[in-house]
Amino acid sequence: MFPNRKTVDPCESTETFGVTVVKAGSEYGPAVSIYWNDHLTDFCELHYYIAVLRSPRRVVVVNSGLPDDVTLFDAFVKSWHPECCISRSPDETTAAALTRLSIHPHDVETVILTPLTIYTTGQLRLFENARFAIGRRGWTDFWAPEPHAPKLPPDIAIARESRLYLAGEAFERVVLLDDEDAVCPGIHVFRTGGHHSSSLAVCVNTAKGKVILGDCFFTYDNLEKNIPIGWHENLHEIRTAYDRIRREADIAVPLYDPEVMKRYPGGRIA
């Protein structure tokens, strides 16, 4: 069931990457999912970002975006409250977003998935040559969860078409990462958990220092004001991850906060 993890050659030199995020859809939902035990009657918008990490040698993408049909996901969030919704404009599709950055999916070397959910796994088939880097523990917990483990419905955790793709045509391109692991020279990950078992922090060497992208903090407020996200599976993991990210990151990037585009116009982080 589980492909062998491919290791990075330790003799390879560390690379420096540029980091750009592009919006690939939005979610309007309850603010309590962002702010643990607070804003109980408020609603707010989150953005789904795809991050593009580019060096002179390679292109790595973090998350693949929503599937073409978001009806199932929209119905899922409406089950929380009828005002909740998923939206995506034509220029926010994965293909359109990458085109604006002059990137063809065929040229992407690796797609890192964090966490395993429908807004990260929806467009895996676009990346016909890429490896799919997934945390080993999250992958195992998806296929063989403990009886009472928190879990999403299978088609919400991994879009059905993408799930079949990973288990079939792309099986040999699945790369399982340990809790602390290298993806390529200049990019490594560590497991944060917290939001989902599959949640990772992606650490990128850039000209501006270490950029850490993560899904365990939805907004800057979560990290900067130490407010745990409401939608957490493990509060201890959340607090541990926040401490580490604050210590190690020169630039920390939440993968959902609309504020990212205000702090970094055009999404250019480094």
Question: In this structure, is residue 8 part of a structural domain?
Answer: no
Averaged pLDDT for residues 107-119: 97
Question: In this structure, is residue 195 part of a structural domain?
Answer: yes
> Nearest CA to 237 among 191, 203, 202?
191
Question: In this structure, is residue 270 part of a structural domain?
Answer: no
State how many domains the chain has. Answer: 1
**Residues 136-158 pLDDT 10s:** 999 999 999 888 888 889 999 99
Question: In this structure, is residue 11 part of a structural domain?
Answer: no
At 103, which CATH number?
A: 3.60.15.10
Residue located via tokens 């692991």:
181
Question: In this structure, is residue 233 part of a structural domain?
Answer: yes
Residues of the domain holding 108: 18-264
**Residues 231-260 pLDDT 10s:** 898 999 999 999 999 999 999 999 999 999
The whole-angstrom separation of Cα 74 and Cα 250 is 35
Residues in contact with 193: Cβ distance below 8 Å, sequence separation at least 6, in sequence order: 137, 199, 216, 233, 234, 237, 241
**Residues 9-32 pLDDT 10s:** 444 568 999 999 999 999 999 878
Residues in contact with 107: Cβ distance below 8 Å, sequence separation at least 6, in sequence order: 59, 129
CB neighbour class for 39 (10 Å; exposed up to 12, middle 13-18, buried from 19): middle
Question: In this structure, is residue 227 part of a structural domain?
Answer: yes
Averaged pLDDT for residues 77-104: 94
Question: In this structure, is residue 12 part of a structural domain?
Answer: no
Hey, CA dihedral for 111, 115, 118, 120, is it positive or negative?
negative
